[in-house]
Amino acid sequence: MGRYILRRLLSVIPTLIGVTLVIFLFQRLIPGDPAVAMLGERATEENIARIREQFGLDRPSFLDRDALAEGNLAGFFDSQYSRYFGRLMRFDLGESIHRRIPVAETLKERFPATLELSLLSMSIALLIGIPAGIASASKRNTALDGVTMVGSLIGVSMPIFWLGIMEIMLFSVFLKWLPTGGRLPTGVEIQSITNLLLLDSLLTGNFAGFVAALKHIILPAVALATIPAAIITRMTRSSMLDVLQEDYIRTATAKGLSLRIVLFRHALKNAFLPVITIIGIQAGTLLAGAVLTETIFSWPGIGKWVYDSILGRDYPIVQGVTLLISIIFLFVNLVVDLSYAILDPRISLE
C-alpha cells in the first residue's frame, strides 16, 4: 500500500510539470503586455522597461539562445519559465502585478471561502443524490423512480448561473428572505480560526454569526450542488440496479433479510465504487463551477478572483490559482483510487 501511494505520487510529477508548462504558456500567449496593463496606456517607455525588468518580463519565455551564442551557458537557462519554476519549488507563487501583494497571501485568504462553498455543496449533493439514487433503484419503474429520473435530468441540464440568478430573484428580490451576495453582512464579525466561517462561528460559540453566514452561503451552495447532485443520483441508481441483479442479493432476500439490510449492507457497499469515481470527478467540476457561482453571488473566493485576473492579465494570480486547482484535482483522484482498495478487497494495488 505504501509503495503504491509513493508510485502514484511520483506519477503525478510529470503531469504536474506539464500543467505548469501549459499554464505558463497560456499566460505568455495571451495578447497584451502586463507592464502596460499595470501602468496604463500613457506610461513612459522607461517606466515600462523598469517594470518589465523588475518582474522578469524582459527575459525570453523558455530558453535564451542569444545568451548561448555569446557563450553564456547559465544565461541560456535563465528564462521566465525557469524563474517561475524555481520560485514554485520554494513555494513562492509570486506577486500580483496590479496590487503588489503576494499571491499566496491572498490565496490563503480567499481559498477557504471557495473550500467552504465546495464542501457544503458536495455535502448537499451527497445528501440528496445517494438517498435519491437508492430509493429510485429499489422502487424501479414506479412513479418515485420516474420523478427522480426526470428531476435528475433537469438538474444535469441546468445552467447553474441561471439557477443562481433565479434564486436571487425569488429569495432575495421578491421574498427578501436571504441576502443577494457576499459572505457576511457588514457589522457581523466572526473570529477566524480556519477561515471556514460556518466552522469558526460554531467553534467560538457565535450563534448569530453562524446564522448570518448560513444565510449567505445557502443560495450559492444550492446552485453549485445542483449538477453534482443530479449526476450522483443517476450514478447511484444505475450502479445499484446492476448490483441488485446479482445472485447474492437474491440469496440475501431469500433467506429472509429485511429490505433495509439487503439494500444497505449487501447492495450499497458493492454499488459504491462507480459512485466514488463520479464524486472524484465532480470535485473538479465544483471548483470550476465556482467561477460562475462566485461571480453571481459576489462570493469572495478564488473563482471570481481568477476570472477577474484573467481579464486583467494578472499572470501570477492565474498561474497560482490554476496550479492549486489542478493539484487538488489530481490529489482527489489519487484519494479516489486509494479508496477503491479499502472498499473492495479484491482490487490489489501492487
Partner 1 sequence: MEETKFEINGVEDFAVREHRSLWIDAWRRLVANRTAMVGLIVVVLFLLSATFAHFFWDYEPKTDLDYSAKLLPPQLIATEEVDIHLFGTDKLGRDIFRRTIHGGWNSLRVGLVAVSISLLVGGILGLLAGFFESIRMNFWESFILMTLLGFTLGMLPAWIAKQFFQAILFALLGAGSIIFDRYLNGKKKHRLYIFPALGAMLAALPGLMVGPMVALVCGVVGLLIGLLLSKPVGGELFSNIVMRIMDIILSFPSYLLAIAIVAFLGPGLEKGMIAIGVVGIPVYARLARSAVMSVTQKEYVLASHAVGESHSRMLFRHVLPNILSPIIVQATMGLANAILSAAALGFLGLGAIPPEPEWGAMLGDSYKYLSSGAWWAVLFPGLAIMLSVLGFNLLGDGLRDALDPKIRL
Binding site for partner 1 (CB under 8 A): 14-15, 18-19, 22, 26, 29-31, 63, 65, 68-73, 76, 153-154, 156-159, 161-162, 165-166, 168-169, 173-174, 180, 234, 238, 241, 284-285, 287-289, 291-292, 295-296, 306-307, 310-311, 318, 322, 325-326, 329-330
- As measured in angstroms, the least distance from the Cβ of 14 to partner 1 is 8
- As measured in angstroms, the least distance from the Cβ of 68 to partner 1 is 5
- Among 217, 335, 340, 347, which residue's Cα sits nearest to residue 281? 335
Residues linked to residue 102 through DSSP beta bridges, in sequence order: 95
- As measured in angstroms, the least distance from the Cβ of 9 to partner 1 is 15
d(CA 22, CA 180): 36
Query: Which one, 197 or 243, has the nearer CB to partner 1?
Result: 243
Query: Which one, 156 or 257, has the nearer CB to partner 1?
Result: 156
d(CA 63, CA 85): 13
d(CA 168, CA 219): 8
Query: Which one, 1 or 288, has the nearer CB to partner 1?
Result: 288
- As measured in angstroms, the least distance from the Cβ of 18 to partner 1 is 4
Give residue for cell 535563465. Answer: 78
- As measured in angstroms, the least distance from the Cβ of 190 to partner 1 is 27
Question: How many residues in total does the chain contain?
Answer: 350
Query: Which one, 176 or 255, has the nearer CB to partner 1?
Result: 176
Query: Which one, 86 or 159, has the nearer CB to partner 1?
Result: 159
Query: Which one, 190 or 240, has the nearer CB to partner 1?
Result: 240
- As measured in angstroms, the least distance from the Cβ of 81 to partner 1 is 15
- Among 12, 7, 15, 56, which residue's Cα sits nearest to residue 34? 56
Residues linked to residue 95 through DSSP beta bridges, in sequence order: 102
Q: Dig out the grid coordinates for 169 from the structure.
A: 430573484
Give residue for cell 457544503. Answer: 120
- As measured in angstroms, the least distance from the Cβ of 303 to partner 1 is 9
DSSP for 116-143, please give it: HHHHHHHHHHHHHHHHHHHHHHHTTTSH
Query: Which one, 50 or 85, has the nearer CB to partner 1?
Result: 85
d(CA 332, CA 311): 29
Residues 78 and 67 sit within 8 Å (Cβ to Cβ): yes
